[in-house]
């Protein structure tokens, strides 16, 4: 069974359990609570998808950097993020600048795993987005993100301790996994 088939089977089973749970809750609760329950269930489902996505991304730690690379033989930053998401049926453009056009903007204080962080490229004086990374963990000591670095390939960095990325930070976006992320 492929990773995608396992992922889809897992989602189907979770949806059945969630549907049963949701039906039971609705039966015992008033309709005014329905929207908050729906939001909670949606976040839980997205959280499970994000965990699988992050685990998959971590398989490629140590993969070398390759300009315009989109395969496990070598990735550039957007090629890596695009590759990871595409393996779960979520097509993203192969451009950090293009990826930044999608999703909901998130404040640094509200970042969570699965969010995409966008940075200026090597030229800190440019305002153009030139790098993308995916948040894999948020702890007291920092925001950890996975990305393909031109100097180290696929690695995990701590945003809080990296002057390089702090100086180049532009924005963070949260993707809705039901949304299509292909540039029009």
Q: Tell me the C-alpha distance between 69 and 32, whole Å.
A: 50
Q: Quote the pLDDT of residue 117.
A: 99
Domain made up of 63-174: CATH architecture: Alpha-Beta Complex (3.90)
Q: Tell me the C-alpha distance between 10 and 184, whole Å.
A: 30
pLDDT tens string 82-111: 999 999 888 999 999 999 999 999 999 999
Q: Is the pLDDT of residue 46 over 80?
A: no
DSSP H or E segment with residue 137: strand 129-139
Q: Is the pLDDT of residue 68 over 60?
A: yes
Domain extent listing, the chain: 3-57, 63-174
Q: Tell me the C-alpha distance between 12 and 47, whole Å.
A: 15
Contact 63, 45 (CB under 8 A): no
């Amino acid at each position: 069974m492929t990773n995608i088939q396992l992922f889809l089977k897992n989602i189907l089973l979770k949806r059945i359990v969630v549907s049963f749970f949701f039906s039971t809750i609705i039966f015992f609760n008033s309709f005014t609570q329905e929207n908050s329950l729906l939001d909670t269930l949606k976040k839980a489902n997205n959280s499970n998808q994000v965990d699988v996505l992050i685990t998959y991304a971590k398989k490629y730690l140590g993969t070398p950097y390759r300009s315009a690379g989109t395969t496990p033989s070598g990735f550039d930053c957007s090629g890596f993020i695009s590759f990871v998401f595409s393996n779960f049926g979520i097509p993203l453009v192969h451009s950090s600048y293009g990826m930044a056009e999608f999703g909901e903007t998130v404040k640094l204080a509200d970042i969570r795993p699965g969010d995409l962080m966008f940075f200026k490229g090597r030229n800190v004086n440019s305002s153009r987005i030139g790098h993308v990374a995916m948040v894999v963990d948020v702890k007291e000591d920092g925001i950890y993100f996975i990305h393909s670095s031109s100097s180290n390939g696929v690695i995990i960095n701590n945003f809080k301790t990296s002057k390089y990325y702090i100086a180049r930070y532009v924005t963070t976006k949260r993707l809705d996994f039901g949304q299509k992320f292909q540039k029009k």
